[in-house]
Amino acid sequence: MLITKIYQLNEIAQAANELRLGELIAFPTETVYGLGADATNEKAVKRVYQAKGRPSDNPLIVTVCDRQMVIEYTGELSKQASALMDAFWPGPLTLILKIKPNALPSVVTGGLKTAAFRMPQNQATLELIRQAQVPLVGPSANSSGKPSPTTAQHVFHDLEGKIAGILDDGPTQVGVESTILDLSTETPTVLRPGAISPKQIEAILKTEVLYDNHQVKQQEVPKAPGMKYKHYAPDAQVIIVNETSWPAALAWAKQQVEAVGIMATTDILNELETTKLTYCLGDDVVSASQKLFDGLRYFDEQPAVKYILVQGFAEEDLGAAYMNRLKKAAGNTFFDK
Ligand code: TXA
Ligand code: MG
């Protein structure tokens, strides 16, 4: 068992040193915490899969602090890639680009001819990468099967004893993972919705962008290997409640013998008589996205809770990313009575 150290923002140099030695350090980003290891060190990257309990053919994002680090693996950037980096980097947009043959270890790429690159908007992490002098692999720092971590405490809960440290910069701001855009195909394709919407990407590229949301079957060779893996769902049944269904949903909750957790915005919770089984999502879809995973973790710690009613939002812009994660957690179950 390792002792997992919490690094404060004035201890970046020590954390960077651990990374250079092949140790694992979780780092903050604007979306969720990532699990960092030197992307050029095969042994270190293998330990990431072990620590997370992640299937090893699911490729990892390469997290960089500048464009030069990308160019090293891809060669000259395409116009599209440069334009998107100008517009959205640092920020929650991951770009899948073709790489030079064998430029990165196959444990990083899952043996693909492409790699996913991301420059997160977090000053401490950009400094960490600068000081480590290597790009970091950065899957979300949860154990496989748990929601992505949005605080250092979530990471500690899942990975204590398995990683050398966590650089703590408080709760993340966006709360859902980055948009993934595949630029290696003829038509740019969004493989995972995030805070940067297809509309915003289209406005920069001035061309249509596809959205690929199909679930890949186990035998099928997936375009995005991550597509075939089961996503997080709590033990309790999550039920999505749309705005107009709240009165009926709350009446239903009252009749249940088993405990029902409620995750909703302030205005809806204000209408309720006080009960301990609520989690406030703040005022709008922005705060709800930031808090979604924390709320699901909160109820997961309470085995008595058998149902969780969670507020749905319109599936546009950030709401599309929020609903994408929520629908997976709910197995697509909506309150409908
Ligand atoms: O916001 C984020 O992107 C966070 C923070 C920590 O940066 N990271 C994150 O990483 O969500 P992860 O590993 O949990 O999700 C990355 C996804 C996986 O589903 C993986 O299959 C996919 O990206 N991916 C990675 N490389 C790929 C590639 N070359 N082609 C297609 N999909 C790829
Ligand atoms: Mg993940």
Q: Are 58 and 136 members of one domain? A: yes
Amino acid identity at 115: A
For residue 231, the model assigns a pLDDT of 66
The CATH number that applies at residue 317 is: 3.40.50.11030
**Contacts for 24 with CB less than 8 Å, ≥ 6 apart:** 35, 36, 37, 44, 47, 48, 51, 162, 163, 164
Determine if ligand 1 sits within 6 Å of the CB of residue 93: no
Angle at 239 between CA 233 and CA 242, to 5 degrees: 130
- 112 in any annotated domain: yes
**pLDDT value, residue 212:** 74
Q: What is the DSSP string of 227-293?
A: GGSPPP--SSEEEEE-GGGHHHHHHHHHH-SSEEEEEE-HHHHHTSPP-SSEEE--SSHHHHHHHHH
For residue 221, what pLDDT band results from cuts at 50, 70 and 90? very low
The CA 181 to ligand 1 mean position distance, Å, reads 10
Within-domain flag for 217: no
Which pair of tokens denotes residue 92? 């929650």
Q: What percent of the chain has pLDDT over 90?
A: 87
Which ligand number lies closest to the CA of residue 73? 1
Q: What's the structural domain count of the chain?
A: 2
The whole domain housing 170 covers 5-211
Residues 68 and 187 placed together within one structural domain of the fold: yes
Q: Mark the residues whose beta carbon lies below 5 A from ion ligand 2.
A: 140
Residue 147: CATH number of its domain: 3.90.870.10
- Of the listed ligands, the closest to the CA of 122 is 1
User: Per residue in 239-287, pLDDT tens?
Assistant: 999 989 999 999 999 899 999 999 999 999 988 876 669 999 999 999 9
For a mutational test of ligand 1's pocket, the pick from 27, 61, 142, 146, i.e. the residue with the most ligand atoms closer than 8 A to its C-beta, is: 61
| Statement to judge: residues 202 and 250 lie in one domain | no
- Spatial separation of the C-alpha atoms in residues 33 and 46, rounded to whole Å: 19
58, part of any domain: yes
Assess whether pLDDT exceeds 90 at residue 224. Answer: no
Note whether 172 and 150 are within 8 A (CB). yes
Residue whose Cα lies nearest atom 21 of ligand 1: it is 226
The residue among 211, 227, 260 that closes a domain is 211
**pTM confidence score:** 0.95
- Phi-psi category of 307—alpha, beta or left, where left has phi over 0 and alpha has psi -120 to 50? beta
250 and 199 in a common domain: no
